[in-house]
Structure 1
Amino acid sequence: MNNLKVGVIGIPGKWSTEVLADRLEEMTGFRLVIDMAEVTLDLASKHLMFRGINLCELDGLIVKKISQAYSPSMLDRIELLRVAEQAGVRVFSRPESILRLVDRLSCTVTLRNHDIPMPKTCVTESLDAAVSAIEEYGEVVLKPLFSTKARGMTLLNAKQPRDELRSQLSLFQQDNPMLYLQQKCDLHGQDLGIVFLGGEYIGTYARVSQSDSWNTTILAGGEYKPFTPDDEVIALAKKAQQPFALDFTTVDVAFTDDGPIVFEVSAFGGFKGALDGCGIDAAKLYSQYIIDSFAG
């Protein structure tokens, strides 16, 4: 498959984007990193152009990252990829699948519609309903619908005065009209990234808190560690990712006193956690998976 031309959509210079492009180049001899900020769609000709290259003429596109920051504009960038897909370009993962995940609410609704256990969650535009949910749950994490790695998330506690809660909610609502409140759970200092390739389980890593931060993200000082889940947890994660039909993903799972829960399914998956946490070169495996999909 030395003549295969597969581009990587990501963030130029970022490790996960570059390592994926490197692995593909090693296997195919072709390398192209695509920044969606520089892509132009001409609907008259149905050309999707990046630096003089019509992406609709490639064999495939891998979406490693669609944007540096999560925002509604991500949806527009994903829509552009549907033109390439219509032209016969294989897109990994399919735009339709990614669209259902970059919005936290879309992901949550799909998971709950498939009876996946999650923290108690209230979604509303009503300040009164939001305050009532905080009082019921005790402590909540107020989450933007478009964010990753706990960015923009805020802790609210029922012990705070109602006027103070309403004020914080109202301020948050200026940029996030829909309020997404999730009961804060005791994660016992860690959560898991359970990795799937083509819907099949390939490994698990833990994110372990190294501080008193309420979340375990690497941005908050967490560290990747090896972890071996039991078959029940793997089965839960596999069930969670199935409705989205992703080529590569990571399912975030945590253990609580009431049993394992799922927080989300990633639209793009984590290469760094897989490598540092469980010694898996996900970029290499993903590249081989894509090449094999053309051969088959």
Structure 2
Amino acid sequence: MNKPRIGVIGIPGKWSTEVLADRLEALTGFRAVIDMAQVELRLDTNQVMYKDLDLAQLDGVIVKKISQVYAPAAEDRVLMVSHLERLGVPVFSSADAIGGLINRLSGTLALQQGGVPMPKTRITECPEQAFATLQAFGSIVLKPLYSTKARGMMMLTADQPEAELRAALKAYREDNDLYYIQQTVNLDGRDLGMVFVAGEYYCTYARVGNKDSWNTTIHSGGHYEKFEPSDELIELGRKAQACFNLSFTTVDIALTDQGPVVFEVSAFGGFKGALEGCGLDAAQAYAEHVVASVTKGAAQ
């Protein structure tokens, strides 16, 4: 076949989206960054249009980012991508794999069912049960079902005044459908991002906090460092990412005094941690994998 035409669904102007499109263009000579906010699904003609480009005519599509933020609306976009997949366009990662990770609860349940160690987690709609869990755990993090980079999360400790805690739980419930509660773990100021390409281990970096925030995200002032994991730790990451069959992902792992635990598996893992922490071009590795997969599929 001629060099494949592979588009990138992402956020125009964002570094990870643009660098992936750059790598694909260097390999294939074709470049298309697709903003889902401007995509039209034409069921009457089986076209999926982005401006004047019919995505159904592409040889493949990479979903780098489905939305600026995780939200129920992102699941609607996943459904549109799934229709594109049913029209025969290879999608990386598949819509089914991505769809299982938009909502934090569905991702958590898949990890739990896969036997992956996680922080103690409880889910409820009831403020009284949430308060009882806080008392039992001593310290908790409340996590919205749709969020990334610790946005919207709230940390509470049982030694705070009861009235203050109940008011915080009430306010949180007003903005969220339920309480997703995890017991806090000792991160020693860092957690890990373990990168996989097509299910194969690629590298691991550490996110190191700036000591002014309870979380280690770059959004909150953290930075990346290289980390050399043990074989056992790599196998934990491999087990976690295998629950979702993603083409590219980052597994978030914490090293605690009770052993390693997995926080989450990302549907849209980034490239900056691998680049700044490990000195590796994960975007290049991912682009090469997708081009090889599309070319092989066309030849069969």
| Other-structure match for 2:128 | 128
Structure 2, unpaired ranges of 5+: none
Which amino acid in 1 is paired with 2:123?
A: V
1:264 is matched by which residue type in structure 2? E
Kept after mapping to 2: 8 A contact 1:2/1:28:
no
241-250 vs 159-168, which moves further? 159-168
Look up the equivalent residue of 2:265 and give its one-letter code: V
Q: CA deviation at 1:2?
A: 5.0
* Alignment partners' CA distance in 2, 1:200 and 1:247: 9
Q: Is the 8 A contact 2:90 2:294 kept in 1?
A: no
The answer on whether the counterparts of 1:102 and 1:267 sit within 8 Å (CA) in structure 2 is yes
Give the C-alpha shift of residue 175 in structure 1: 2.1
Counterpart of 1:44 in structure 2 is 44
SS of match in other structure, 1:174: helix
Query: 1 CA distance for matches of 2:114 and 2:88?
Result: 31
Alignment of 1:270-289 (within 5 A): 270-289=270-289
Question: Contact 1:192/1:253 (CA < 8 Å) preserved in 2?
Answer: yes
Q: Does structure 1 residue 31 correspond to structure 2 residue 31?
A: yes
Q: What is the DSSP-based 3-state SS (H/G/I as helix, E as strand, rest coil) of the residue aligned with 1:244? A: coil
Q: CA deviation at 1:128?
A: 0.8
Q: Show the counterpart of 1:86.
A: 86
Instruction: Report the AA paired with residue 125 of structure 1.
Output: E
In the TM superposition, what are the counterparts of 1:1-296 in structure 2 within 5 Å?
3-296=3-296
Cα shift readout 1:21-49 (whole Å, capped 9, x = no counterpart): 00000000000000000001112222111
Give SS of 2:242's match.
Answer: helix
User: Matched residue of 1:245: which SS?
Assistant: coil
Residues of 2 paired with 1:285 and 1:134: CA distance?
Answer: 43
Query: 1:40, 1:185 → 2: CA distance?
Result: 44
Counterpart of 1:131, as a letter, is: F
Which amino acid letter does the alignment assign opposite residue 177 of structure 2?
A: P
Contact 2:145-2:180 at 8 Å conserved across structures: yes
Letter of the aligned partner of 1:254 in structure 2?
A
Instruction: Report how far residue 247 of structure 1 moved.
Output: 0.3
Question: 1 CA distance for matches of 2:44 and 2:233?
Answer: 49
Q: Distance in 2 between matches of 1:2 and 1:155?
A: 53
SS at match of 2:175: coil
Alpha-carbon displacement from aligned partner over 1:221-251 (angstroms, at most 9, x marks no partner): 1110011000000000100010100000000
Q: For 2:218 and 2:230, how far apart are their aligned partners in 1?
A: 24
**Superposed displacement of residue 164, structure 1:** 2.6
CA distance in 2, matches of 1:206, 1:103: 25
Q: Does the CA contact (< 8 Å) of 1:41 and 1:48 recur in 2?
A: yes
Shift of 1:170: 1.8
Deviation of 1:53 after TM superposition, in Å, equals 1.1
Q: CA deviation at 1:171?
A: 1.4
Report SS of the residue matched to 1:41. Answer: strand
How far is the alpha carbon of 1:258 from its aligned partner?
A: 0.2
SS of equivalent residue, structure 2 residue 181: strand
Contact 2:4 2:295 in 1 (8 A): no
